Chains A and B, each alone.
Chain A
Amino acid sequence: MSTAIMPNHGEEAGQAATGISATRPGRPAHWGDQLFRLLLRAAGLSLVVLVIAICAVLVWKALPAMRTFGWRFLVTSVWDPVAEHYGALPLIYGTLLSSLLALCLAVPLGIGAAIYLAELAPMWIRSPIAFLVELLAAVPSVIYGLWGVFVLAPILRMYVQPALSRTFGFLPLFQGPPYGVGMLAAGIILAIMIVPFIIAVSREVLLAVPNTQREAALALGATRWETTRIAVLRYGRSGLVGAILLGLGRALGETMAVTMVIGNRPEISASLFAPGYTMASMLANEFTEATSNLYLSALIEVGLLLFAVTVCVNALARLLVWSVGGAVAGGRE
């Protein structure tokens, strides 16, 4: 699942170290070869064309809304299809808040679990747990949503939210009626969904730390935890930040599970109990209801925004994760 995230050996060498091109430099003479090369290049090109096309289509379709609302689109809170006033601020707020909440829950657990799997766990337990984590990542969003609606939301409504109200009710975070569904439910479900990715990537980052670093710390008389802290976590810290960003990227784009538990109300509220709306869930709910061209265009502009943000976050994340693989001098082992 995530082995495609770490860089391939061939990339770092610049020129491919494997493949026909490594065994026979020079131009192919055989016409069959030329045709084949063309075919391969076309396949590669098709992917490039596809991504550019997605970008172009989004911009093209969002243009009417962008021209009508300009930058106000990002800061207005009103989303009124009837009066045709569209402001995406509640969506942006909801997306960011739910993702942030998810990160707060998923990052400590995820990195802790990754440390356990990479450094501390006895050998016999590593494979089963890693396998279970992979299974967790394979569960589709809609099934998490199903569980969220029928299991998590009632539990929140009947037990957790009242308890939080009683103990922390003085904080605006925990005020308001306990619906069950709302920002808190969305955050929890998102956390469950992104934790396997954070674990998988963090684990790869930690395993990429050369063993000589651990030995250096151990030989100084460090405990297992101190070794992990000084030699492993420090060395891999940029990769771990990358893993966190990858988790963020996933959380931002997650649709179905969030739609089913967030309450679907485009409002900004300080309370975690309140219902909210994310960019992705609005698209899921309202896309087929779009009656006018401007409505559709506004929705697609939301999609473009989502596209741009996730692409940037993911690109940054990959850069950071790759940097642990070999950029540090003398780090290759």
Chain B
Amino acid sequence: MRFQLRRIVNRVMNGLAAASAFLVVLPLLLILAFLVYQGASSVNLDFFTHLPKPVGEPGGGMANAIVGTLTLIGLAALVGLPLGILGGVYLVESRDPRLPWAVRFLADVLNGVPSIVVGIFAYTLVVLPMRRFSAVAGGVALACIMLPIVLRTTEEMVRLVPNSLREAALALGIPEWKVVLRVVLPTARAGILTGVMVSIARIAGETAPLLFTAFGNRFWHQRLDQPIAALPLQIFAYAIAPYDDWHRQAWAGAVVLIALIFLTSLAARLATRGRVRGAR
């Protein structure tokens, strides 16, 4: 009798667990389906090539926002990638007693800081002294978000390089710095690339830190010390506005943004296909 009860409980709990898994995946599929349904029809050539039209006029596109996002990613990568990769290498190759622990801990702290707070930091550091919103400020904010991601994944990937490789190179009389640059890093190249792409996918979608750094722009930016448009910013601005046409364009922008992010994530996964990742 008791045994029957245990079997029933087993079935029920297993069922609940399976149900949770499917329930969790459902919103994603719903959202994606809705996104495509609403936005796909509006994604046309105009969207990619035209600037936003003045308020009230239908049509126009988000060309400047797309270019703006790419520009901001480029600016962020300029600072975030070298510091992140070198920092990750530092964590693996260094002999310092305490600093690596602090770096690792603070990188995780930085990872958890809300992106809007990072935006405040960039505002204070860049926007206030320059007295204007700018692409540079946006780039700084995004770099701060990108840095810990690149750093930790680089560390993981470099740590996976077997010591025997380093020893073989050292035994040939090659100085340590050459061993790292010419042997270790190339071996870990695919994994580091994955980390880079994951971080790009992440900052491409960030809106909050750009609200008061890059600020957004309805036109092309002329210089990097001016406000610049970005895809997520534009989506946000259009979504909360009262015009139907703008809503339609917001959906289109969302489709383009999510396509960009998913493709980058997919590429990141493919880069490490077949490689051993950490403990699993």
Residue of B nearest to A40 (CB): B90
A8 vs B277: C-alpha distance when bound (angstroms): 12
The reply to whether B20 and A20 contact each other, CB–CB distance below 8 Å, is: no
Against A, the Cβ 8 Å flags (1 = close, 0 = not) of B147-160 are 11101110110110
Q: Which residues of A contact B149 (CB under 8 A)?
A: 4
Q: Which residues of A contact B31 (CB under 8 A)?
A: 139, 143-144, 147, 151
Against B, the Cβ 8 Å flags (1 = close, 0 = not) of A115-127 are 1110111000000
A291 vs B153: C-alpha distance when bound (angstroms): 41
Against B, the Cβ 8 Å flags (1 = close, 0 = not) of A38-55 are 011101111110110110
Q: Which residues of A contact B91 (CB under 8 A)?
A: 44
Q: Which residues of A contact B192 (CB under 8 A)?
A: none
User: Which stretch of A73-81, A84-92, A161-169, A220-228 is in the interface?
Assistant: A220-228
Interface size on B, residues (CB 8 A): 109
The reply to whether B205 and A19 contact each other, CB–CB distance below 8 Å, is: no
B residues 83-125 with Cβ under 8 Å of A?
A: 83, 86-87, 89-96, 99-104, 106-118, 120-121, 123-125
- Name the prevailing secondary structure of the B interface residues: helix
Residue of A nearest to B278 (CB): A3
A179 vs B62: C-alpha distance when bound (angstroms): 31
The reply to whether B207 and A142 contact each other, CB–CB distance below 8 Å, is: yes
Judge if B51 is at the interface, Cβ distance under 8 Å: no
The reply to whether B92 and A57 contact each other, CB–CB distance below 8 Å, is: no
The reply to whether B116 and A41 contact each other, CB–CB distance below 8 Å, is: no
Shortest CB–CB separation between residue A307 and chain B, in angstroms? 5
- Name the prevailing secondary structure of the A interface residues: helix
Residue of A nearest to B85 (CB): A43
User: Which stretch of A28-36, A170-178, A268-276 is in the interface?
Assistant: A28-36
Q: Which residues of A contact B258 (CB under 8 A)?
A: 139-140, 143
The reply to whether A116 and B18 contact each other, CB–CB distance below 8 Å, is: yes
A3 vs B261: C-alpha distance when bound (angstroms): 20
User: Which stretch of B41-49, B52-60, B217-225, B235-243 is in the interface?
Assistant: B235-243
A residues 123-172 with Cβ under 8 Å of B?
A: 129, 132-136, 138-147, 149-151
Judge if A324 is at the interface, Cβ distance under 8 Å: no
Q: Which residues of B contact A35 (CB under 8 A)?
A: 177
Q: Which residues of A contact B257 (CB under 8 A)?
A: 140, 142-143
The reply to whether A310 and B93 contact each other, CB–CB distance below 8 Å, is: no
Judge if B232 is at the interface, Cβ distance under 8 Å: yes
The reply to whether A10 and B92 contact each other, CB–CB distance below 8 Å, is: yes
A225 vs B121: C-alpha distance when bound (angstroms): 48
A20 vs B35: C-alpha distance when bound (angstroms): 49
Residue of B28, B125, B170, B250 ringed by the most chain A CB atoms within 10 A? B28
A151 vs B27: C-alpha distance when bound (angstroms): 12
Judge if A303 is at the interface, Cβ distance under 8 Å: yes
B residues 150-187 with Cβ under 8 Å of A?
A: 151-153, 155-156, 158-159, 161, 163, 166-167, 170, 175-180
Judge if A216 is at the interface, Cβ distance under 8 Å: no
Residue of A nearest to B166 (CB): A23
A253-B116 in contact given A109-B23, A116-B17 (Cβ < 8 Å)? yes
The reply to whether A9 and B180 contact each other, CB–CB distance below 8 Å, is: no
Q: Which residues of A contact B151 (CB under 8 A)?
A: 47
Judge if B131 is at the interface, Cβ distance under 8 Å: no
A132 vs B254: C-alpha distance when bound (angstroms): 19
The reply to whether B21 and A121 contact each other, CB–CB distance below 8 Å, is: yes
Shortest CB–CB separation between residue A181 and chain B, in angstroms? 11
The reply to whether A253 and B24 contact each other, CB–CB distance below 8 Å, is: no
Interface size on A, residues (CB 8 A): 106
The reply to whether A146 and B235 contact each other, CB–CB distance below 8 Å, is: yes
Q: Which residues of A contact B27 (CB under 8 A)?
A: 136, 192
Judge if A241 is at the interface, Cβ distance under 8 Å: no
Q: Which residues of B contact A208 (CB under 8 A)?
A: 279
The reply to whether B207 and A40 contact each other, CB–CB distance below 8 Å, is: no
A228 vs B13: C-alpha distance when bound (angstroms): 10
The reply to whether B25 and A132 contact each other, CB–CB distance below 8 Å, is: yes
A149 vs B235: C-alpha distance when bound (angstroms): 12
Residue of B nearest to A224 (CB): B10
A47-B147 in contact given A16-B92, A207-B280, A223-B10 (Cβ < 8 Å)? yes
The reply to whether A314 and B112 contact each other, CB–CB distance below 8 Å, is: yes
Residue of B31, B106, B112, B232 ringed by the most chain A CB atoms within 10 A? B112
The reply to whether A109 and B20 contact each other, CB–CB distance below 8 Å, is: yes
- Residues of A at the B interface (CB closer than 8 Å) are 1, 3-6, 8-11, 16, 18-25, 28, 30, 32-33, 35-37, 39-41, 43-48, 50-51, 53-54, 57-58, 61, 108-113, 115-117, 119-121, 129, 132-136, 138-147, 149-151, 192, 195-196, 199, 204, 207-208, 223-226, 228, 249, 252-256, 260, 280, 283-284, 287-288, 300, 303, 306-307, 310-311, 313-315, 318
- Residues of B at the A interface (CB closer than 8 Å) are 6-7, 9-10, 13-14, 16-21, 23-25, 27-29, 31, 34-35, 38, 82-83, 86-87, 89-96, 99-104, 106-118, 120-121, 123-125, 144, 147-149, 151-153, 155-156, 158-159, 161, 163, 166-167, 170, 175-180, 198, 201-202, 204-208, 211-212, 215, 232, 235-236, 239-240, 247, 250-251, 254, 257-258, 261-262, 265, 277-280
Give the 9 A-B residue pairs with the shortest CB-CB distance, closest first.
Answer: A140-B205, A253-B114, A112-B20, A36-B177, A43-B86, A314-B112, A223-B10, A40-B90, A116-B17
A-B contact pairs, 6 of them (CB 8 A): A61-B124, A110-B24, A140-B204, A142-B239, A208-B279, A306-B116
